[in-house]
Structure 1
Amino acid sequence: MTGFGNKRIIAAIAAIALINGLQHCVSPVLSEIHHHFSSVDISFVQMLITAPCLIAMIVALITGWLAMRVGQRTLFLTAAAVSGVTGVLPCLADNFWILFFSRMAYGLSLGIAVSLVTALVADYFEGEQRVRVMGMQGASVGAAMMIVTTVCGVIGKGDFRRAYFINLLAFVAFAIIAVCLPKKEKKKRRGMQRIQLNHRVFVMAAFMFVESFFVITFTTNISMHLSGSLKGDTAVAGLLTGIFSVSQVIFGFLLNHIVKVSRKYTLPGAMFGLALGYLVIAVFPGNTVMLVLGAVLCGYSQGVYFPKAMVEVTTVVPLASAPMASSVMTVAICGSQLISPVIINIAAKLVFGETTTTNAYMIACIGTVISGICAVIWKMKDKNC
């Protein structure tokens, strides 16, 4: 493909990332939503971010198969359209359950966007270029999340319902995908080739499950974690989530350089970064500077771990199996994010005696340290790394 063609594919990848970033559109206003719908359990409020993962998990299981029959372009356009419609639907009525089930329906878009984008990159890019483009894809997700959460934190201050209108950006993504993705797709992995997965795919998916389970704790708790003069300030919550995203953007663009330095231990290093970030956030809930540092460390983890893990999984299977391998990883991501808030809250109460955001971050910190140690052992034993 020509350089101009590559730029168009990258533009489409950035638009797909925007669909992905809309998952976090309610994150900065969760505290106001909880206050407004005070009779709704806090775990359900937190699941406004993670509930889409239930549908996304189901969609991911069939997306690889569908891509071979209806094409990636059609699926990505469908994802953009559904994202826009379900995003603004809660504007029709002030009802928590309309909001909740609209967020679940958005999961169709999330499942397509997350599971297929890796296969799209694998189709058009190889070797170091694939690592670089996947880093750019992760950076694009971070940039989308930064824009979405920062804007939502500002426009949602005083009336969280205004934040819903950010989902109109999905229609912008629709237009970019329609223009930039070629109607005639590459055929090198199409046809009736048999899908082949191996045990390494499932090991990688297990570690992705763990990383995703803990990394989502940042966005599900940050707006309710602020204390002192920062308490209840949606603009600050949006700023912190935006900084998390900026960090993800920067380290996503630097992924190729980070991999050259940390080599086979890139993924465990990202896990330890997340643990340190949560420790800082838990200890300093009223200190803006320390909260920013914690957000940067957490953003580093997501910006490095997700694209690097997705690149790795495409290298251990034949190209024909890349969509299904990335779908397995997507199921791991979505399944873990779906159950994370409830389990983290239960664990916090069991270990520390009460469910607070500080205790939730400490549980996530401890769990990530243990996971990171296991990841180091895995990488030491894996001779193919």
Structure 2
Amino acid sequence: MLFASTMTVMSGAIIAPALPGISRHFSEHSQVLIQLILTLPALMITLCSPLMGYLADRFGRKPLLLLMLSIYGLAGGAGFLINSVELLLASRALMGIAVAGILSISTTLVGDYFEGSERVRFLGLQSSCMALGGVVFINLGGLLSDWSWRGPFLLYLTGVLLLPYAWAMLKEPRLPGATHADSAQAPARVDYWRTGLGYLIAMLSMMMFYMFPAQLPFLLSEQGEISGMAIGIALSMSALTASIVAFGYGYYKPFFSVMTIYVLGFALAATGFLVVGFTDSYAMAIVGAAISGFGLGAFMPNTTTWLMRITPQRVRGRVFGGFTSTFFFGQFISPIAVAPAVIWLGSLRNVFIAMAVLCIVFAAILMILSKTYLRADSRL
């Protein structure tokens, strides 16, 4: 399940270094169309995750996960053979649908298989693997793209290679009350207010986190000539610290409530954004990215832990389908939201400062809610 979770990062990270080669090979097509090859899976994940969650609840977790692993491997690996942009986009869209199912179901299975502190630790491991996977797969994709722009697409075949192991090891969870018809048909109550707040926090945290890989290279280039390796180090720093804090989630969670971790996370993220926004130093920009990573890295395991505690098991699939959708919508919307913000605020540096202010506002709001409407969650 940990490896399946990293596949969501692989969907974009692997081919990112190959984009220049893809652009040269399909030189008759526009740059926007070539960039869509990278971003289309995130859009499909956003659109299809709620449906995948419903299907997982309706037809079972394991059969759907095995199907999605097959589609992921075949549709992703097809890029090695395809020689048409239109077909390549179609295969990427199909792969995005598969990723929607893989992440929704694997996260749901964590809640089905584990309880208590064991679940908390595993969620931390899952988030850590996803963040660290971004660092590893970008470099691995870059290595293969030096051989050929088609090379990185071969890595998607891991979905097919994982299939026999997943079939042998994963067990379909037994839902409580499934042996009693009346109980199985009884409606399961979803707390839409708290679930919606969890979705909003997931979207905002991903939107903020994605500002570093999407915007930091442009900010650093404003400071003068800088090598690609130096930019790569700066980009990987936030992912590295995020993976560290996610990995340790199970160890520090017993000492802090869900709401406290959110408040501390927004405060750390604000500090990092302020450092990046005010500094003219490359070294301090790396420090700022690292600080923000420490704050934002706890958000995914914290949100999944919270949602699992407040969601009935029989509807957990559709709730986490919605979570996956909003999570990746934050990634998709991040560059779209920043573009007009740069025009309105006058510079990219001011956008980072504005994000710091937004983090402080959310920290204050959650602190107030933890003392009022979400008082019960301040003890979770």
- Interval of TM-score (by shorter of Structure 1 and Structure 2): 0.7 to 0.9
**Would you say how many aligned residue pairs link Structure 1 and Structure 2?**
365
Contact kept, 8 Å, 1:344 with 1:363, in 2: the verdict is: no
- 2:88 is the counterpart of 1:89: no
1:303/1:172 Cα in 2 relative to 1: closer, same or farther (>3 Å)? farther
Match of 1:196 in 2: 189
Contact 1:26 1:49 in 2 (8 A): no
Match of 2:324 in 1: 330
Residue 53 (1) aligns with residue 42 (2): yes
1:211 alignment partner AA: S
Alpha-carbon distance between aligned partners in 2 of 1:32 and 1:371, rounded to the nearest angstrom: 38
Shift of 1:20: 1.6
Q: Is contact 1:278–1:364 with CA below 8 Å preserved after alignment?
A: yes
- Distance, in Å, in 1 between the alignment partners of 2:234 and 2:160 is 26
1:371 pairs with one of 337, 362, 366: 362
Deviations, residues 348-369 of structure 1 (Å, cap 9, x unaligned):
122216xx5x565455444434
Alignment CA distance shift 1:141-1:29 (3 Å): same
The whole-number CA distance in structure 1 between the counterparts of 2:251 and 2:148 is: 43
2-structure distance, mates of 1:119, 1:251? 22
Pick from 217, 220, 223 the counterpart of residue 211 of structure 2. Answer: 217
Q: Which residue of 2 aligns with 1:8?
A: none
Q: State yes or no: 1:383 paired with 2:375.
A: yes
Deviation at 1:94, TM superposition (A): 6.0
1:185 to 143, 167, 173: 173
**What does the per-residue CA deviation read over 1:86-118, in whole Å, with 9 as the maximum and x for residues that have no partner?**
333333356655554443332212211232223
Which amino acid is 2:343 matched to?
K
CA offset digits 1:40-84 (Å, max 9, x no partner):
466x66665543233223322222321234321122222222222
Output the CA distance in 1 between the equivalents of 2:351 and 2:342. Answer: 5
* Cα 1:179/1:137, change in 2 over 3 Å: same
Deviation at 1:252, TM superposition (A): 1.7
Give the corresponding residue for 1:118: 107
Structure 1 portions without partners, runs of 5+: 1-12
Report the counterpart of residue 56 of structure 2 in structure 1. 67
**How many angstroms does 1:30 deviate by?**
7.7
Indicate yes or no: 2:142 matched with 1:147: no
Unpaired runs of at least 5, structure 2? 179-183
> How well do the aligned residues superpose, as a CA RMSD in angstroms?
3.3
Which of the residues 337, 340, 365 maps onto 1:343?
A: 337
Contact 1:54 1:335 in 2 (8 A): yes
2:260 corresponds to 1:265: yes
TM-score, normalised relative to structure 2: 0.81
**Structure 1: distance between partners of 2:322 and 2:198:** 9
Q: In the superposition, relative to structure 1, how do residues 283 and 323 fare at CA in structure 2: closer, same or farther (>3 Å)? A: same
Q: SS of the residue aligned with 1:306?
A: helix
Secondary structure of 2:185's counterpart equals coil
What is the TM-score with the length of structure 1 in the denominator? 0.80
Deviations 1:322-345 (A, max 9, x none): 222222222221333332221221
Match of 2:6 in 1: 18
Structure 2 counterpart SS, 1:148? helix
Indicate how the Cα distance of structure 1 residues 378 and 283 shifts in structure 2: closer, same or farther if over 3 A, else same. Answer: same
Deviation (angstroms), 1:259: 2.5
- Asked if structure 2 preserves the Cα contact closer than 8 Å seen for 1:207 and 1:375, the reply is no
Q: Does residue 79 of structure 2 align to residue 104 of structure 1?
A: no
Identical-pair percentage = 17
**Contact residue 314 and residue 322 of structure 1 kept, 8 A:** yes
Per mean C-alpha deviation after superposition, the further-off stretch among 88-97 and 256-265 is 88-97
- Equivalent of 1:230 in 219, 226, 234: 226
Match of 2:246 in 1: 252
Query: Could you tell me which residue of structure 2 aligns to residue 32 of structure 1?
Result: 20
CA offsets 1:121-141 (integer angstroms, 9 cap, x no match): 111111122111111111121
Greater C-alpha radius of gyration: 2
